Structure formats: C-alpha cells, structure tokens
C-alpha cells in the first residue's frame, strides 16, 4: 500500500505529525507532496512528488491540517480514500490527531479499516461546474443589499425570497455553515441535500431537506453587483442577474477512511458542539 501525504504547510504542529508518520510507515511506502519538503527533518529519507503524481500512484491519501485542508484534499484527490489528521481548531472531518494517528496507520497497514462514503453536491451555471463536499452558497460580497431568488425542486416552485443568500448543503456540510444558518444536522452518510435560505426577509421560510437526486434550480433576479457562487468557500464563480444555477448530487463520493476505535459520529458531535 502506497500512502500519499499532503497537508497545509502553514499549520502549527504539522512537523510532529509528519515525524510520527515517518516513524510508523516504511519510507518506500510513502510519497510526500513536495510542498511539505521544508517540514521534514530528514528529507533525504523520503520521496517527494507533485500532487498530480501522488494522485496517480498513491492508494490512500493522508491529509494534515484542519477541515478546510480536508475539503481541498477531497477536491484534488477525489477518487482516493482519505484519512484526515487534525492540527487545526475544529475537526469534523479531520478526526485523527497526534494521540491516535500512529495506531490508525498500523491498522491501515494491517488491513483493519473501512471506508465511509460521503455525498458531494455540484452546481452548474453558465457552462461551468463546481463540486463541493460541504456546501455551495449563493451570496453577495462587499454589499449590504439583499438577493432576490426563486428556488425550484424538480421543476416545482419551492419559494421566492429576498435575503442574504442561499445555501445547498450535503449531510457532511450540515454541521458547517448550514448549522450556523439555522439548518438541521443530518447523519453524514444520508442521501440527502439541505436547501437553507440565509437570513431570509420572510421569517417563516425554513430549511428544507430533499432527496440527494433532486434537481434544485435557483434563478437570480437581483441586479445587485458582486454576487458569487462559492463551493466549500474555496472555488468561486461570479454571478449576474438572470443566471440559472442547477444543483444536484454529484456521481462521485468522497471516501473517508475509518479505523477501529475512532470516535463515532455522535461522540464527535457531543465533543465538538459541547453538548456534554
């Protein structure tokens, strides 16, 4: 098994995780992204490659950082099993850390692991398509003006509203922006999407959960400038009045590695949200 190692080089603590990985795995089984070369104490011990080469050659991707790093990794290595190691601040996706990554790697080498597949959502507008693991949003930057949107599901009108924007979330992203915007928490392996108005002018509007294979359409009638569509907060498409945006489940799933003994989802929820 070949392990591809990537991550966020500016994260504090990444050197310690890399040291554990190098102490646990055989150097011949490791390919490290060349962007992390300065974080390795003995760079002559390992092989450095581009992300594209790692995507072609590695069997499993280990990404080190926070949830934002995991989201980027999922987009770059979308066909590979991914294990997220947390050196960030939150960690719904990066569920491993310094305390358990060594055991997790030993389990991986021994074949004691499984995959948890997560739904992704895609949006298409003006011939461009973006894919997200967490969410895709429509909103305004640099202006306090509201958006005017019409939203349909499978051709049926859902609502017309004015507000700060619209959020289409996956179950994985339901604990991110969706939760802050008043949306529900969905179990991460569900086949569903959440349509969440962001600060709607009509207080009666509420988030709606639909099957993942639904075709969601948003029509932008605002003349507001600086409107954007954003995928996981990392990929942006400018919008203009008259744009139709189509959302649906993407055919690809993100494959998250799980090993024995790792916290289950409800334990993570209780710890991260301080439920007690």
- Residues with catalytic roles: 67
The CA-CA-CA angle for residues 168, 83, 195, to 5°, reads: 10
Residue 132, Cα to own-chain centre: how many angstroms?
6
In Å, how far are 121, 124, 192, 193, 197 from 129, measured between CA atoms? 10, 4, 20, 18, 22
- Longest Cα–Cα distance of the chain, Å, equals 62
Q: What is the DSSP letter of 104?
A: H
**Are the beta carbons of 36 and 63 closer than 8 angstroms?**
no
> What are the backbone angles phi and psi of residue 257, rounded to the nearest 5°?
-80, 135
Between CA 98 and CA 16 the distance in angstroms is 8
* Residue 29 CB neighbour total at 10 angstroms: 13
Angle between helices 14-24 and 101-110 (to 10 degrees): 30
Which of 34, 30, 33 has its CA nearest to residue 45?
A: 30
In Å, how far are 14, 29, 31, 85, 175 from 273, measured between CA atoms? 25, 37, 35, 19, 9
E strands, 111-239, are 114-125, 128-132, 135-140, 147-153, 156-169, 192-200, 208-211, 216-220, 227-231, 235-239
Q: Is 218 exposed, middle or buried (0-12, 13-18, 19+ CB in 10 A)?
A: buried
């Amino acid at each position: 098994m070949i392990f591809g190692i990537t991550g966020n080089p500016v994260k504090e603590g990444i050197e310690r995780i890399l040291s554990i990985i190098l102490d646990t795995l055989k150097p011949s089984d490791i390919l490290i992204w060349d962007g992390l070369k300065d974080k390795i104490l003995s760079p002559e011990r390992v092989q450095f490659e581009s992300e594209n080469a790692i995507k072609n050659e590695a069997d499993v991707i280990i990404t080190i950082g926070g949830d934002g790093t995991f989201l980027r990794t999922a987009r770059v290595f979308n066909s590979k099993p991914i294990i997220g190691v947390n050196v960030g601040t939150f960690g719904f996706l990066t569920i491993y850390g310094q305390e358990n990554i060594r055991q997790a790697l030993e389990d991986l080498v021994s074949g004691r692991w499984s995959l948890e597949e997560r739904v992704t959502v895609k949006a298409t507008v003006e011939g461009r398509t973006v894919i997200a693991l967490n969410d895709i949003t429509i909103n305004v930057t640099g202006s306090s003006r509201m958006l005017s949107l019409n939203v349909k599901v499978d051709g049926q009108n859902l609502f017309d509203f004015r507000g700060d924007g619209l959020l289409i979330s996956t179950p994985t992203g339901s604990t991110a922006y969706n939760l802050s915007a008043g949306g529900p928490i969905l179990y991460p392996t569900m086949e569903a999407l959440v349509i969440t108005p962001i600060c709607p002018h009509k207080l009666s509007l509420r988030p709606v959960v639909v099957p993942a294979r639904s075709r969601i359409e948003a029509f932008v009638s605002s003349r507001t400038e600086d409107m954007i569509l954003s995928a996981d907060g990392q990929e942006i498409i400018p919008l203009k009045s008259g744009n139709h945006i189509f959302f649906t489940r993407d055919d690809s799933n993100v494959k998250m590695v799980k090993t024995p003994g790792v916290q289950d989802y409800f334990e993570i929820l209780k710890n991260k949200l301080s439920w007690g």
